[in-house]
Structure 1
Amino acid sequence: MKLIKSLIVLFFLLLTYHEGCSQIDNSAFLSTGPDSVDQKIYLGINTTGYFKNNEYFNDIVEGYTLFGYNLIVKGGYQFNDNLNFEAGGFFRWDFGNEDFRTVLPYFKINYQWEKNTLTFGNINGWLAHQYIEPLYEFENFITNNPELGIQYLRKGNWYDLDIWVDWQNMIYPLDSAKEEIAGGLIFDGKIVNKNSFSLSIPLQFKVYHRGGQIDISNASLITRTNFAFGLKTNWKLSEASVLKEIETSAFYVTFNDNSGTELLPFNDGNGIFLNASVRSNNFGQFLLSYWNGNDFYSYQGGRLYQSLATEYGTPGYIEDRELIFLRYGYDLEIAKNSYLTLRGEPLYDLNNKSFEYSFALYFNLKLNYPLLKNK
Protein backbone atom coordinates (compact mmCIF):
# COMPACT_ATOMS: atom_id res chain seq x y z
CA MET A 1 0.00 0.00 0.00
CA LYS A 2 2.85 2.42 0.76
CA LEU A 3 4.26 1.81 -2.71
CA ILE A 4 0.86 2.59 -4.29
CA LYS A 5 0.56 5.84 -2.32
CA SER A 6 4.08 6.89 -3.34
CA LEU A 7 3.32 6.20 -6.99
CA ILE A 8 0.13 8.29 -6.79
CA VAL A 9 1.98 11.29 -5.37
CA LEU A 10 4.81 10.92 -7.89
CA PHE A 11 2.32 10.75 -10.75
CA PHE A 12 0.70 14.05 -9.80
CA LEU A 13 4.00 15.81 -9.18
CA LEU A 14 5.36 14.78 -12.56
CA LEU A 15 2.23 16.06 -14.26
CA THR A 16 2.50 19.36 -12.46
CA TYR A 17 6.14 19.77 -13.39
CA HIS A 18 5.58 19.10 -17.07
CA GLU A 19 2.22 20.45 -17.77
CA GLY A 20 -4.39 25.60 -13.34
CA CYS A 21 -6.08 25.63 -10.16
CA SER A 22 -7.22 22.29 -11.53
CA GLN A 23 -10.77 21.87 -10.43
CA ILE A 24 -13.98 20.95 -12.13
CA ASP A 25 -15.14 23.91 -14.24
CA ASN A 26 -17.83 25.84 -12.33
CA SER A 27 -18.28 28.72 -14.79
CA ALA A 28 -21.82 27.55 -15.63
CA PHE A 29 -22.86 28.35 -12.03
CA LEU A 30 -21.58 31.93 -11.92
CA SER A 31 -24.13 34.73 -12.10
CA THR A 32 -23.99 37.33 -14.84
CA GLY A 33 -24.59 41.06 -15.09
CA PRO A 34 -26.01 43.04 -18.01
CA ASP A 35 -24.89 41.98 -21.47
CA SER A 36 -23.59 45.50 -22.15
CA VAL A 37 -23.62 49.03 -20.73
CA ASP A 38 -26.31 49.82 -23.33
CA GLN A 39 -28.81 48.28 -20.89
CA LYS A 40 -29.70 51.31 -18.81
CA ILE A 41 -32.40 49.48 -16.85
CA TYR A 42 -32.76 45.70 -16.95
CA LEU A 43 -34.44 42.75 -15.29
CA GLY A 44 -32.13 39.94 -14.18
CA ILE A 45 -33.02 36.35 -13.26
CA ASN A 46 -30.43 33.81 -12.10
CA THR A 47 -31.64 30.41 -10.95
CA THR A 48 -30.10 27.02 -10.24
CA GLY A 49 -32.26 23.93 -10.06
CA TYR A 50 -30.26 21.25 -8.22
CA PHE A 51 -30.44 17.54 -7.61
CA LYS A 52 -27.35 16.16 -5.84
CA ASN A 53 -27.31 12.69 -4.32
CA ASN A 54 -24.38 11.85 -2.04
CA GLU A 55 -23.94 8.13 -1.46
CA TYR A 56 -21.48 8.39 1.44
CA PHE A 57 -21.06 5.75 4.15
CA ASN A 58 -18.38 7.12 6.48
CA ASP A 59 -18.38 8.74 9.92
CA ILE A 60 -17.04 12.09 8.71
CA VAL A 61 -20.02 12.68 6.42
CA GLU A 62 -22.87 10.28 5.73
CA GLY A 63 -25.11 10.27 2.68
CA TYR A 64 -27.73 12.94 2.02
CA THR A 65 -29.60 14.46 -0.93
CA LEU A 66 -30.12 18.08 -1.98
CA PHE A 67 -33.13 18.71 -4.23
CA GLY A 68 -34.67 22.11 -5.01
CA TYR A 69 -33.75 25.49 -6.46
CA ASN A 70 -32.15 28.86 -5.73
CA LEU A 71 -33.54 31.97 -7.39
CA ILE A 72 -32.32 35.56 -7.65
CA VAL A 73 -34.74 38.10 -9.15
CA LYS A 74 -33.25 41.56 -9.50
CA GLY A 75 -33.61 44.88 -11.22
CA GLY A 76 -30.50 46.70 -12.39
CA TYR A 77 -29.57 50.28 -13.24
CA GLN A 78 -26.41 51.13 -15.19
CA PHE A 79 -25.34 54.65 -14.16
CA ASN A 80 -22.39 54.76 -16.58
CA ASP A 81 -19.61 52.55 -17.93
CA ASN A 82 -18.24 52.07 -14.40
CA LEU A 83 -21.11 52.10 -11.92
CA ASN A 84 -23.91 49.54 -11.65
CA PHE A 85 -26.64 48.99 -9.04
CA GLU A 86 -28.88 45.93 -8.52
CA ALA A 87 -31.65 45.15 -6.03
CA GLY A 88 -34.14 42.33 -5.66
CA GLY A 89 -34.64 39.12 -3.72
CA PHE A 90 -32.99 35.74 -3.07
CA PHE A 91 -35.12 32.61 -2.61
CA ARG A 92 -34.30 29.00 -1.81
CA TRP A 93 -36.84 26.19 -1.79
CA ASP A 94 -36.07 22.56 -1.01
CA PHE A 95 -38.49 20.13 -2.61
CA GLY A 96 -40.50 18.30 0.02
CA ASN A 97 -40.67 21.41 2.21
CA GLU A 98 -43.93 23.38 2.27
CA ASP A 99 -42.13 26.67 3.01
CA PHE A 100 -39.25 28.52 1.45
CA ARG A 101 -35.99 27.61 3.16
CA THR A 102 -34.58 31.11 2.63
CA VAL A 103 -36.06 34.48 1.63
CA LEU A 104 -33.62 37.40 1.70
CA PRO A 105 -33.24 40.82 0.07
CA TYR A 106 -30.63 41.21 -2.68
CA PHE A 107 -28.54 44.41 -2.91
CA LYS A 108 -25.40 45.10 -4.91
CA ILE A 109 -23.30 48.13 -5.85
CA ASN A 110 -20.60 47.40 -8.41
CA TYR A 111 -17.91 49.95 -9.34
CA GLN A 112 -15.33 49.09 -12.02
CA TRP A 113 -12.27 50.97 -13.23
CA GLU A 114 -9.55 49.65 -15.49
CA LYS A 115 -8.89 46.07 -14.26
CA ASN A 116 -10.39 46.61 -10.81
CA THR A 117 -13.83 46.00 -9.32
CA LEU A 118 -15.18 47.08 -5.93
CA THR A 119 -18.42 45.42 -4.83
CA PHE A 120 -20.61 46.31 -1.84
CA GLY A 121 -23.55 44.22 -0.62
CA ASN A 122 -24.04 40.84 -2.30
CA ILE A 123 -20.47 40.13 -3.32
CA ASN A 124 -19.27 37.72 -6.02
CA GLY A 125 -18.97 34.84 -3.60
CA TRP A 126 -19.49 31.11 -3.34
CA LEU A 127 -17.91 29.39 -6.35
CA ALA A 128 -16.76 32.70 -7.84
CA HIS A 129 -13.92 32.84 -5.28
CA GLN A 130 -12.38 29.76 -6.94
CA TYR A 131 -11.06 28.32 -3.70
CA ILE A 132 -9.83 24.75 -3.79
CA GLU A 133 -12.53 22.48 -2.40
CA PRO A 134 -10.80 21.54 0.90
CA LEU A 135 -11.12 25.24 1.79
CA TYR A 136 -14.56 25.88 0.33
CA GLU A 137 -17.39 23.40 -0.04
CA PHE A 138 -18.91 23.26 -3.53
CA GLU A 139 -22.39 22.88 -2.00
CA ASN A 140 -22.16 26.26 -0.22
CA PHE A 141 -24.02 27.86 -3.11
CA ILE A 142 -26.95 25.54 -2.29
CA THR A 143 -26.92 25.32 1.50
CA ASN A 144 -25.57 28.73 2.61
CA ASN A 145 -27.00 32.23 2.44
CA PRO A 146 -25.50 34.59 -0.15
CA GLU A 147 -22.32 36.32 0.99
CA LEU A 148 -22.83 39.92 2.13
CA GLY A 149 -20.05 42.42 2.68
CA ILE A 150 -17.39 44.08 0.58
CA GLN A 151 -15.02 42.73 -2.08
CA TYR A 152 -12.12 43.97 -4.17
CA LEU A 153 -11.28 42.14 -7.40
CA ARG A 154 -8.44 42.64 -9.84
CA LYS A 155 -8.06 40.69 -13.08
CA GLY A 156 -4.68 41.39 -14.66
CA ASN A 157 -2.30 39.91 -17.19
CA TRP A 158 0.15 38.81 -14.53
CA TYR A 159 -1.94 38.34 -11.42
CA ASP A 160 -5.54 37.99 -10.23
CA LEU A 161 -6.64 39.12 -6.77
CA ASP A 162 -9.80 38.61 -4.71
CA ILE A 163 -10.08 40.18 -1.23
CA TRP A 164 -13.43 39.76 0.50
CA VAL A 165 -15.34 40.05 3.77
CA ASP A 166 -18.63 38.24 4.45
CA TRP A 167 -20.49 39.63 7.48
CA GLN A 168 -22.49 36.60 8.61
CA ASN A 169 -24.09 37.66 11.89
CA MET A 170 -24.71 41.22 13.04
CA ILE A 171 -25.10 41.97 16.75
CA TYR A 172 -26.58 44.86 18.73
CA PRO A 173 -26.14 45.88 22.39
CA LEU A 174 -27.01 43.07 24.82
CA ASP A 175 -27.52 40.51 22.07
CA SER A 176 -27.38 36.89 23.22
CA ALA A 177 -25.19 35.84 20.26
CA LYS A 178 -21.78 36.92 19.01
CA GLU A 179 -20.97 38.50 15.69
CA GLU A 180 -19.58 36.22 13.00
CA ILE A 181 -17.29 37.25 10.15
CA ALA A 182 -15.58 35.31 7.39
CA GLY A 183 -13.11 36.64 4.87
CA GLY A 184 -10.17 35.80 2.72
CA LEU A 185 -7.69 36.52 0.00
CA ILE A 186 -7.04 34.66 -3.24
CA PHE A 187 -3.94 35.56 -5.25
CA ASP A 188 -2.90 33.95 -8.51
CA GLY A 189 0.49 35.18 -9.72
CA LYS A 190 1.50 34.17 -13.24
CA ILE A 191 5.17 33.36 -13.85
CA VAL A 192 4.57 32.43 -17.49
CA ASN A 193 1.50 33.65 -19.37
CA LYS A 194 1.48 32.69 -23.04
CA ASN A 195 -1.40 31.91 -25.38
CA SER A 196 -0.97 28.15 -25.10
CA PHE A 197 0.77 27.77 -21.74
CA SER A 198 0.63 29.38 -18.30
CA LEU A 199 2.51 28.69 -15.08
CA SER A 200 1.40 30.36 -11.88
CA ILE A 201 1.75 30.33 -8.11
CA PRO A 202 -1.62 30.48 -6.29
CA LEU A 203 -2.01 31.62 -2.68
CA GLN A 204 -5.31 31.19 -0.85
CA PHE A 205 -6.18 32.44 2.64
CA LYS A 206 -9.38 32.11 4.66
CA VAL A 207 -10.35 33.27 8.15
CA TYR A 208 -13.41 32.83 10.35
CA HIS A 209 -13.94 34.92 13.48
CA ARG A 210 -16.64 34.81 16.14
CA GLY A 211 -16.44 37.61 18.70
CA GLY A 212 -17.75 41.04 19.64
CA GLN A 213 -17.83 43.28 22.72
CA ILE A 214 -21.41 44.54 23.07
CA ASP A 215 -23.13 41.16 23.46
CA ILE A 216 -23.93 39.21 26.63
CA SER A 217 -23.12 35.80 25.17
CA ASN A 218 -20.82 33.46 27.09
CA ALA A 219 -19.75 31.70 23.89
CA SER A 220 -16.01 31.43 23.38
CA LEU A 221 -14.12 33.63 20.97
CA ILE A 222 -13.07 31.83 17.79
CA THR A 223 -10.42 32.69 15.22
CA ARG A 224 -9.55 29.98 12.71
CA THR A 225 -7.49 30.30 9.56
CA ASN A 226 -6.57 28.25 6.52
CA PHE A 227 -3.74 28.87 4.10
CA ALA A 228 -2.92 27.13 0.84
CA PHE A 229 -0.10 27.65 -1.62
CA GLY A 230 1.01 25.69 -4.61
CA LEU A 231 1.90 25.47 -8.27
CA LYS A 232 -0.49 25.28 -11.20
CA THR A 233 -0.07 24.99 -14.93
CA ASN A 234 -2.32 25.04 -17.97
CA TRP A 235 -1.85 23.80 -21.52
CA LYS A 236 -4.33 24.99 -24.16
CA LEU A 237 -4.44 22.63 -27.12
CA SER A 238 -5.77 23.02 -30.62
CA GLU A 239 -9.51 23.65 -30.94
CA ALA A 240 -9.50 21.04 -33.69
CA SER A 241 -8.15 18.30 -31.41
CA VAL A 242 -10.19 16.02 -29.17
CA LEU A 243 -8.59 17.48 -26.03
CA LYS A 244 -9.05 21.20 -25.48
CA GLU A 245 -7.08 21.80 -22.29
CA ILE A 246 -4.81 20.05 -19.77
CA GLU A 247 -4.43 21.40 -16.25
CA THR A 248 -2.63 20.28 -13.11
CA SER A 249 -2.03 21.71 -9.65
CA ALA A 250 -0.36 20.80 -6.37
CA PHE A 251 -1.29 22.49 -3.05
CA TYR A 252 -0.02 22.38 0.50
CA VAL A 253 -2.88 23.34 2.84
CA THR A 254 -2.77 24.34 6.53
CA PHE A 255 -5.22 24.83 9.40
CA ASN A 256 -4.60 26.90 12.54
CA ASP A 257 -6.90 27.56 15.48
CA ASN A 258 -5.89 30.76 17.33
CA SER A 259 -9.01 30.97 19.47
CA GLY A 260 -7.30 30.67 22.84
CA THR A 261 -9.94 28.18 23.99
CA GLU A 262 -9.59 24.58 22.86
CA LEU A 263 -12.95 23.80 21.28
CA LEU A 264 -11.66 21.33 18.69
CA PRO A 265 -9.68 18.16 19.39
CA PHE A 266 -6.69 19.65 17.51
CA ASN A 267 -5.32 23.18 17.04
CA ASP A 268 -3.46 22.80 13.76
CA GLY A 269 -3.20 20.49 10.81
CA ASN A 270 -2.27 20.23 7.17
CA GLY A 271 -3.01 18.48 3.91
CA ILE A 272 -1.77 17.85 0.38
CA PHE A 273 -4.14 18.34 -2.54
CA LEU A 274 -3.12 17.20 -6.04
CA ASN A 275 -5.13 17.50 -9.24
CA ALA A 276 -4.86 16.66 -12.93
CA SER A 277 -7.64 17.36 -15.40
CA VAL A 278 -8.35 17.12 -19.12
CA ARG A 279 -11.10 19.04 -20.90
CA SER A 280 -12.39 17.97 -24.27
CA ASN A 281 -14.25 19.92 -26.92
CA ASN A 282 -17.23 17.58 -26.96
CA PHE A 283 -17.13 15.18 -24.00
CA GLY A 284 -16.80 17.38 -20.93
CA GLN A 285 -14.08 17.37 -18.26
CA PHE A 286 -12.37 14.61 -16.29
CA LEU A 287 -10.54 15.45 -13.07
CA LEU A 288 -8.38 13.13 -10.97
CA SER A 289 -7.65 14.35 -7.41
CA TYR A 290 -5.69 13.09 -4.41
CA TRP A 291 -6.15 14.38 -0.84
CA ASN A 292 -4.12 13.52 2.25
CA GLY A 293 -5.18 15.50 5.31
CA ASN A 294 -3.99 15.27 8.92
CA ASP A 295 -5.91 17.02 11.74
CA PHE A 296 -7.45 19.23 9.08
CA TYR A 297 -10.43 21.54 9.50
CA SER A 298 -11.80 24.39 7.42
CA TYR A 299 -14.84 26.50 8.24
CA GLN A 300 -17.31 25.96 5.36
CA GLY A 301 -14.67 23.78 3.69
CA GLY A 302 -15.35 20.61 1.73
CA ARG A 303 -17.01 18.11 4.06
CA LEU A 304 -15.22 15.06 2.70
CA TYR A 305 -11.80 16.58 3.41
CA GLN A 306 -12.32 17.30 7.11
CA SER A 307 -10.62 15.27 9.84
CA LEU A 308 -13.51 16.07 12.18
CA ALA A 309 -17.08 14.85 11.68
CA THR A 310 -19.36 17.37 9.97
CA GLU A 311 -23.02 18.10 10.67
CA TYR A 312 -23.86 14.99 8.61
CA GLY A 313 -21.34 12.75 10.41
CA THR A 314 -20.98 10.91 13.71
CA PRO A 315 -20.62 13.58 16.46
CA GLY A 316 -17.07 13.83 17.81
CA TYR A 317 -15.57 11.40 15.33
CA ILE A 318 -11.96 12.13 14.22
CA GLU A 319 -10.05 10.58 11.34
CA ASP A 320 -7.15 11.60 9.14
CA ARG A 321 -8.36 11.41 5.56
CA GLU A 322 -6.73 9.98 2.42
CA LEU A 323 -8.92 10.02 -0.66
CA ILE A 324 -8.78 9.62 -4.43
CA PHE A 325 -11.48 11.29 -6.54
CA LEU A 326 -12.37 10.84 -10.18
CA ARG A 327 -14.75 13.62 -11.21
CA TYR A 328 -16.64 14.11 -14.42
CA GLY A 329 -18.51 17.24 -15.48
CA TYR A 330 -20.41 18.14 -18.61
CA ASP A 331 -22.04 21.49 -19.40
CA LEU A 332 -24.60 21.62 -22.21
CA GLU A 333 -25.51 25.16 -23.27
CA ILE A 334 -29.29 25.03 -23.69
CA ALA A 335 -29.74 28.80 -24.25
CA LYS A 336 -27.54 31.88 -24.13
CA ASN A 337 -25.67 31.83 -20.78
CA SER A 338 -27.85 28.91 -19.59
CA TYR A 339 -26.65 25.35 -19.02
CA LEU A 340 -27.70 21.83 -18.14
CA THR A 341 -24.85 20.45 -16.03
CA LEU A 342 -24.20 16.78 -15.26
CA ARG A 343 -21.74 15.67 -12.56
CA GLY A 344 -20.41 12.32 -11.37
CA GLU A 345 -17.89 11.84 -8.55
CA PRO A 346 -16.74 8.37 -7.51
CA LEU A 347 -14.14 8.35 -4.74
CA TYR A 348 -12.01 5.77 -2.97
CA ASP A 349 -11.18 6.04 0.74
CA LEU A 350 -7.64 4.65 1.10
CA ASN A 351 -7.83 4.42 4.89
CA ASN A 352 -11.13 2.56 5.08
CA LYS A 353 -10.70 0.77 1.75
CA SER A 354 -14.21 1.80 0.72
CA PHE A 355 -15.78 3.09 -2.49
CA GLU A 356 -18.33 5.93 -2.40
CA TYR A 357 -19.83 8.27 -4.96
CA SER A 358 -22.14 11.16 -5.72
CA PHE A 359 -23.98 12.27 -8.83
CA ALA A 360 -25.84 15.45 -9.70
CA LEU A 361 -27.89 17.35 -12.26
CA TYR A 362 -28.20 21.14 -12.39
CA PHE A 363 -30.14 23.63 -14.47
CA ASN A 364 -28.37 27.01 -14.47
CA LEU A 365 -30.56 29.63 -16.16
CA LYS A 366 -29.50 33.28 -16.56
CA LEU A 367 -31.50 36.09 -18.11
CA ASN A 368 -30.77 39.80 -18.40
CA TYR A 369 -33.66 41.50 -20.18
CA PRO A 370 -33.30 45.20 -21.11
CA LEU A 371 -36.20 47.37 -19.99
CA LEU A 372 -34.62 50.63 -21.14
CA LYS A 373 -31.52 51.13 -23.27
CA ASN A 374 -29.10 54.06 -23.17
CA LYS A 375 -29.74 56.63 -25.85
Structure 2
Amino acid sequence: MTKPENSFQLSVPFQLLIYHRGGQIDTSDEPMVVMGNAVTGICSEWFFDKSFIRSIGLETYVAGYYDKLPNKEIRPYTNGWGVYPVLKVNTSLFSFMSGYWYGKHFYAFEGEPLFGSFNPYDPQEQEPIRKLFTMKFAYSQQLLKNLSIGAQVETYTD
Protein backbone atom coordinates (compact mmCIF):
# COMPACT_ATOMS: atom_id res chain seq x y z
CA MET A 1 0.00 0.00 0.00
CA THR A 2 2.98 2.32 0.49
CA LYS A 3 6.07 2.95 -1.61
CA PRO A 4 9.04 0.70 -0.74
CA GLU A 5 11.32 3.70 -0.12
CA ASN A 6 9.04 5.20 2.58
CA SER A 7 10.17 4.91 6.21
CA PHE A 8 6.60 3.87 7.08
CA GLN A 9 5.21 0.74 5.43
CA LEU A 10 1.59 -0.40 5.44
CA SER A 11 0.32 -3.66 3.94
CA VAL A 12 -2.78 -5.85 3.94
CA PRO A 13 -1.75 -9.53 3.68
CA PHE A 14 -4.19 -12.26 2.67
CA GLN A 15 -3.85 -16.04 2.72
CA LEU A 16 -6.36 -18.68 1.70
CA LEU A 17 -5.91 -22.43 2.01
CA ILE A 18 -8.59 -24.94 1.00
CA TYR A 19 -8.31 -28.68 1.49
CA HIS A 20 -10.50 -31.18 -0.36
CA ARG A 21 -10.39 -34.99 -0.32
CA GLY A 22 -12.85 -37.60 -1.49
CA GLY A 23 -16.19 -37.42 -3.25
CA GLN A 24 -14.84 -38.12 -6.74
CA ILE A 25 -15.44 -41.87 -6.62
CA ASP A 26 -18.96 -42.61 -5.41
CA THR A 27 -18.18 -46.25 -4.59
CA SER A 28 -15.70 -45.30 -1.86
CA ASP A 29 -16.67 -45.38 1.81
CA GLU A 30 -14.09 -42.68 2.58
CA PRO A 31 -15.77 -39.56 3.98
CA MET A 32 -15.43 -36.42 1.91
CA VAL A 33 -13.40 -33.60 3.50
CA VAL A 34 -13.75 -29.93 2.54
CA MET A 35 -12.23 -27.34 4.86
CA GLY A 36 -10.42 -24.06 4.65
CA ASN A 37 -8.50 -21.34 6.44
CA ALA A 38 -8.41 -17.66 5.52
CA VAL A 39 -6.21 -15.02 7.12
CA THR A 40 -6.03 -11.28 6.56
CA GLY A 41 -4.88 -8.33 8.57
CA ILE A 42 -3.10 -5.04 8.55
CA CYS A 43 0.65 -4.65 9.00
CA SER A 44 2.49 -1.43 9.75
CA GLU A 45 6.22 -0.93 10.19
CA TRP A 46 8.39 2.11 10.87
CA PHE A 47 12.04 2.03 9.74
CA PHE A 48 14.81 4.08 11.35
CA ASP A 49 18.07 5.05 9.63
CA LYS A 50 21.38 4.72 11.48
CA SER A 51 19.79 3.66 14.74
CA PHE A 52 20.17 0.69 17.09
CA ILE A 53 16.46 0.06 16.57
CA ARG A 54 16.06 -0.64 12.85
CA SER A 55 12.28 -1.03 12.80
CA ILE A 56 9.17 -1.28 14.95
CA GLY A 57 6.07 -2.96 13.63
CA LEU A 58 2.51 -3.63 14.65
CA GLU A 59 0.58 -6.36 12.87
CA THR A 60 -2.96 -7.55 13.51
CA TYR A 61 -4.28 -10.71 11.89
CA VAL A 62 -7.79 -12.16 11.75
CA ALA A 63 -8.05 -15.87 10.90
CA GLY A 64 -11.04 -18.01 10.02
CA TYR A 65 -11.70 -21.74 9.83
CA TYR A 66 -14.53 -23.52 8.04
CA ASP A 67 -15.29 -27.23 7.76
CA LYS A 68 -18.10 -27.98 5.32
CA LEU A 69 -18.46 -31.64 6.31
CA PRO A 70 -17.12 -32.00 9.85
CA ASN A 71 -16.52 -35.41 11.34
CA LYS A 72 -17.11 -34.69 15.04
CA GLU A 73 -14.83 -37.57 16.06
CA ILE A 74 -11.88 -36.04 14.16
CA ARG A 75 -12.66 -32.30 13.89
CA PRO A 76 -15.21 -31.22 16.50
CA TYR A 77 -15.90 -27.70 15.18
CA THR A 78 -17.66 -26.55 12.01
CA ASN A 79 -16.15 -23.07 12.00
CA GLY A 80 -13.98 -20.85 14.14
CA TRP A 81 -11.91 -17.72 14.19
CA GLY A 82 -8.97 -16.04 15.87
CA VAL A 83 -7.35 -12.64 16.31
CA TYR A 84 -3.58 -12.18 16.66
CA PRO A 85 -2.08 -8.71 17.28
CA VAL A 86 1.73 -8.74 17.21
CA LEU A 87 4.39 -6.18 18.18
CA LYS A 88 7.79 -6.56 16.48
CA VAL A 89 11.10 -4.82 17.16
CA ASN A 90 14.17 -5.36 14.98
CA THR A 91 17.53 -4.06 16.18
CA SER A 92 21.05 -4.23 14.81
CA LEU A 93 21.70 -7.22 17.12
CA PHE A 94 18.44 -9.13 17.52
CA SER A 95 14.72 -9.33 16.76
CA PHE A 96 11.90 -9.52 19.27
CA MET A 97 8.22 -10.34 18.73
CA SER A 98 5.37 -10.48 21.19
CA GLY A 99 1.75 -11.35 20.44
CA TYR A 100 -1.56 -12.36 21.94
CA TRP A 101 -3.73 -15.01 20.30
CA TYR A 102 -7.45 -15.25 21.02
CA GLY A 103 -9.20 -18.06 19.18
CA LYS A 104 -12.63 -19.64 19.33
CA HIS A 105 -13.20 -23.11 17.79
CA PHE A 106 -10.20 -22.46 15.52
CA TYR A 107 -8.20 -25.10 13.65
CA ALA A 108 -5.33 -24.54 11.21
CA PHE A 109 -5.06 -27.87 9.39
CA GLU A 110 -1.72 -26.97 7.78
CA GLY A 111 -0.59 -24.49 10.43
CA GLU A 112 0.75 -24.29 13.95
CA PRO A 113 -1.17 -26.78 16.16
CA LEU A 114 -0.50 -24.60 19.21
CA PHE A 115 -3.16 -22.09 18.08
CA GLY A 116 -5.89 -24.70 17.58
CA SER A 117 -8.88 -25.22 19.85
CA PHE A 118 -8.42 -28.99 19.83
CA ASN A 119 -5.64 -31.54 19.60
CA PRO A 120 -5.68 -33.10 16.08
CA TYR A 121 -4.13 -36.30 17.51
CA ASP A 122 -6.73 -36.51 20.30
CA PRO A 123 -9.83 -34.49 19.24
CA GLN A 124 -11.52 -35.10 22.61
CA GLU A 125 -8.83 -32.85 24.13
CA GLN A 126 -10.44 -29.45 23.48
CA GLU A 127 -10.10 -25.81 24.47
CA PRO A 128 -13.03 -24.06 22.76
CA ILE A 129 -11.57 -20.66 23.69
CA ARG A 130 -7.79 -20.49 23.22
CA LYS A 131 -5.81 -17.59 24.74
CA LEU A 132 -2.03 -17.45 24.31
CA PHE A 133 0.65 -14.88 24.96
CA THR A 134 3.60 -15.53 22.63
CA MET A 135 7.18 -14.23 22.53
CA LYS A 136 10.00 -14.84 20.10
CA PHE A 137 13.62 -13.74 20.37
CA ALA A 138 16.02 -14.21 17.44
CA TYR A 139 19.70 -13.50 16.91
CA SER A 140 21.46 -13.62 13.56
CA GLN A 141 25.01 -12.71 12.60
CA GLN A 142 26.53 -12.77 9.12
CA LEU A 143 29.98 -14.37 9.28
CA LEU A 144 30.90 -14.32 5.59
CA LYS A 145 29.21 -13.11 2.41
CA ASN A 146 27.18 -16.32 2.04
CA LEU A 147 27.35 -17.62 5.61
CA SER A 148 25.41 -16.55 8.66
CA ILE A 149 24.63 -18.08 12.02
CA GLY A 150 21.50 -17.65 14.08
CA ALA A 151 19.52 -18.79 17.07
CA GLN A 152 15.87 -18.40 17.99
CA VAL A 153 13.88 -18.95 21.18
CA GLU A 154 10.08 -19.08 21.21
CA THR A 155 7.89 -19.26 24.27
CA TYR A 156 4.24 -18.97 25.14
CA THR A 157 1.96 -18.96 28.12
CA ASP A 158 -1.59 -20.24 28.08
> What TM-score, normalized by structure 1, do the two folds share?
0.39
CA-to-partner distance for each residue in 1:29-50, whole Å, 9 max, x for gaps?
Answer: xxxxxxxxxxxxxxxxxxxxxx
Residues 1:203 and 2:14 aligned together: yes
Match of 2:126 in 1: 318
Q: CA deviation at 1:216?
A: 5.7
In our comparison, the structure showing a higher alpha carbon Rg is 1
% same residue? 28
Match of 1:224 in 2: 35
Q: Distance in 2 between matches of 1:310 and 1:335?
A: 42
Flag structure 2 segments of 5+ consecutive residues without an equivalent.
Answer: none
Match of 1:287 in 2: 97
Q: Distance in 2 between matches of 1:232 and 1:303?
A: 23
Report how many residues are paired: 155
Alpha-carbon spacing, 1:260–1:284, altered in 2? closer, same or farther (3 Å): closer
Q: CA deviation at 1:310?
A: 3.3
Match of 1:256 in 2: 66
Q: Distance in 2 between matches of 1:337 and 1:297?
A: 38
Match of 2:48 in 1: 237
Match of 1:341 in 2: 150
Q: Distance in 1 between matches of 2:103 and 2:94?
A: 29
Alpha-carbon spacing, 1:236–1:210, altered in 2? closer, same or farther (3 Å): same
Instruction: Read off the aligned partner of 1:341 and give its amino acid letter.
Output: G
Residues 1:265 and 2:82 aligned together: no
More strand by share: 2
Q: Distance in 2 between matches of 1:199 and 1:323?
A: 26
Residues 1:329 and 2:141 aligned together: no
Between the two structures, name the one with larger relative contact order (CA 8 Å, sep ≥ 6): 1
Question: Matched residue of 2:29: which SS?
Answer: coil
Q: Which of residues 118, 141, 155 in structure 2 aligns to 1:308?
A: 118
Pairwise CA RMSD: 2.0
More helix by share: 1
Q: CA deviation at 1:230?
A: 1.3
Instruction: Read off the aligned partner of 1:280 and give its amino acid letter.
Output: T
Q: CA deviation at 1:341?
A: 1.9
Instruction: Read off the aligned partner of 1:307 and give its amino acid letter.
Output: S
Q: CA deviation at 1:265?
A: 1.3
Q: CA deviation at 1:229?
A: 1.6
